[in-house]
Amino acid sequence: MSEADGPNTEGSGGSNGANGPDSERVSTEKGSAENLPSRTRRRFPDISSRAYEHPADRSALVALRKLSGFDTVFKALSGLLPERSLRLLFLSDSVRVSDEQFAHLNAMLRDACYILDLEKVPTMYVTQDPQPNAMCIGMDEPLIVVTTGLVELLDEEEMRAVVGHEVGHALSGHSVYRTILLFLTTLALRVAWIPLGNLAVLALVTALREWFRKSELSADRAGLLVGQDVKASMRGLMKIAGGNHLHEMNVDAFLKQADEFEASGDLRDSVLKILNVLPRSHPFTTVRAAELRKWAGSREYQRLMDGHYPRRTEDKDTSVTDAFRESAAHYADTVKQSKDPLMGLIRDLSNGAGDLGGKLRDRFTGAGAQRTQGSQDASSDPADATDRTGSTDSTDPTDPTDPTDPAPGSPGSSNPSE
């Protein structure tokens, strides 16, 4: 696809002369020359990727963007061989999206770039692969690749969210900075023979994968900004998890799985969750759906849709300290709100290390949750609680006076829902 100033605004109904997204929308009608969707979408002129980036992703990107010159040199070096090889590979063995080939995907791509105000439309290819997948790669110029498995799996609005997801990666520069950090990781591997060097490399790779996972949450948000249809985004994630059996699936039930995954089990399950997610570059699909639903219902998203968002022209003035402070606050809030047993233990320890052995025992065996439930049952019926305290030993797990039983409302009792 050739370079363009942006998607054709005549078919999109927008105007670059508008004052902002409050007055500028992408107005499209089904059956038009570009075959765009039959509803209006808001556009975000000069939007900074900081507007939709996850706090942990944002802090890393802000810090990397401050390394002026390094990314420019790296882009130039990367463009000499590896990127040229990839472009030739897809050019020779995949189908390039254009007005003549996969025209509906081409319209979605141009529409997504127009909504997020990405001036240079990336080249997109469709490659034969039954596994549903999409990616944005390339240092010098972003390159989007979607598989036939994904194209066949999703409907138009679900696919629009995926295209927006990949355009969000391009706007954030994820492909550039991911490659830089992978390059640094490769260099770090060469010092792994130094005492403690292997541990340092392991810590770096672990942190890198954590950032990758957070960058996927950022791109999910960009997909929602492009599609502006929460239900379509949810359906798309659900299909990626369970295949093209939409009549057999339910979004609410799917989202409940994420709640159950977070809250179920004891400390042993918390450790297994961590071990399961560590090697992954993407968060679990149910977790992605729950995170996106949470963001779609937030004040931050509503303000963005109302036209209040950071501008790209302000990126150079962004404070690295403020970005890391926001990231730290997010993780602290995650620990505070989480229903995971390990996070509950961390809250307990932060509020005081008294009876550490008892707390560890309860978290490993799940007894703490059972005691909390017993306390709630007793408090719901005072007469019944009196009978029980009068007829049982004072160390009974349901006894509200048990010294190891957390009081209702304390960090060891039931936690607020997500």
The pLDDT tens digits along the chain (418 residues) read 444 444 443 334 333 333 444 435 554 433 334 444 446 899 999 999 999 998 877 776 666 666 556 566 666 655 555 677 788 999 999 999 999 999 999 999 999 999 999 999 999 999 999 999 999 988 778 899 999 999 999 999 999 999 999 999 999 888 877 776 666 667 667 766 777 666 777 777 777 788 888 899 999 999 999 999 999 999 999 999 999 999 999 999 999 999 888 877 777 777 888 888 888 888 999 999 999 999 999 999 999 999 999 999 887 776 667 656 666 666 566 656 666 666 666 666 666 554 545 555 555 555 554 554 554 454 444 444 444 444 444 444 344 344 444 444 443 443 444 4
Long-range contacts formed by 193-200: CB under 8 A, 24+ apart: none
List the catalytic residues: 166
- Report in angstroms the alpha-carbon separations of 326 from 51, 297, 329, 366: 13, 19, 5, 33
CA atoms within 13 A on the CB side of 168: 29
Residue 318 backbone phi and psi in degrees, to 5: -70, 135
Contact present, 106 and 212 (Cβ < 8 Å): no
Give the number of other CB atoms < 10 A from CB of residue 271.
14
